[in-house]
Structure 1
Amino acid sequence: MNTDTHRVERLKLWLDEFDGKIAAFCRHYGLSRTRASYLSQLLSGNRPLGERAARKLEAECNRPNGWLDMSNSEPQKLKYDAARFGQLPQADRELVEGFIEFVLQRWERRAVSSTKAAPLSMSEDYVPPAQQIEAMQMANRKPRKNAEHGKKTSRNRNAA
């Protein structure tokens, strides 16, 4: 199978998420009727899905660059010891799940915006959920005045 044919097969699998309906696919991604017609021609085999066209379609639909060229096999499952993970306190499980979601979102944004998604730095912009909540609470907290002296308390002096 050549690359163009592989891309069309991958596109067909993608369209299966929309019950194979090109119109539903185009509505979901905000594509024009002209693009719908073009996709129909691709799927019928009347036009090849070349490199430039594939990259343009991926960009229009917020897919990582090269996504249509990837294998059709199922993605590998995350390997971890479920029993040990289940023994973690709920807050720690949420922290791990939040970090995984953060890494996936960062990768997706980078993959869409560049031709080659660089590995993420573990220190880059990640704030654990508990710290995010605490920071939001601190930002929304109004300084209290000490009832006896009419002064800000030491707790709020640092926040102000």
Structure 2
Amino acid sequence: MPSLLDSLQDRAGDELGVSSWVTIDQDRIDAFAACTGDRQWIHVDRERAARESPFGRTIAHGYLTLSLLPMMNEEIGIVPEGVASALNYGSDKVRFLAPVPSGSRVRARTELVAALEKRPGQILLTLRSTVEIEGEETPALVADTLALLLTDA
């Protein structure tokens, strides 16, 4: 029977799944602005954004969109059975490719790039998540993130 590491390595390059759509409405944008202190007008001033923004309305913070990845990847089920815990280990590369206008829906499409044993009982996953905007060709972002799996082994 192959080990968890072997099974994960065999899946490198595979799409792990696609999350449900998540609405990024103005309430979510305003709450993120309140948490981070990033109150740039293009995110929170509806009237000014309608007048001056090339998008005709407010847009989500790029980091708000990025911050939804753990929730969307949990729904996808990236953590296999036999894992005691999964920890956010950081990001290798993040690219914000298109703005997310307020009221848009986004979802994640996540692929397993690699699985490496850091030490016994620890497997480091590299995941590539593409956050799609409903009805748009260009994704909001593409991010290579790292998850450290702690196994019972």
Q: Same fold (TM over 0.5)?
A: no
Q: Give TM-score scaled by structure 1 length.
A: 0.23
**Higher helix share goes to which structure?**
1
Structure of higher CA gyration radius: 1
| Greater RCO, 1 or 2 (C-alpha within 8 Å, sep 6+) | 2
**Higher strand share goes to which structure?**
2
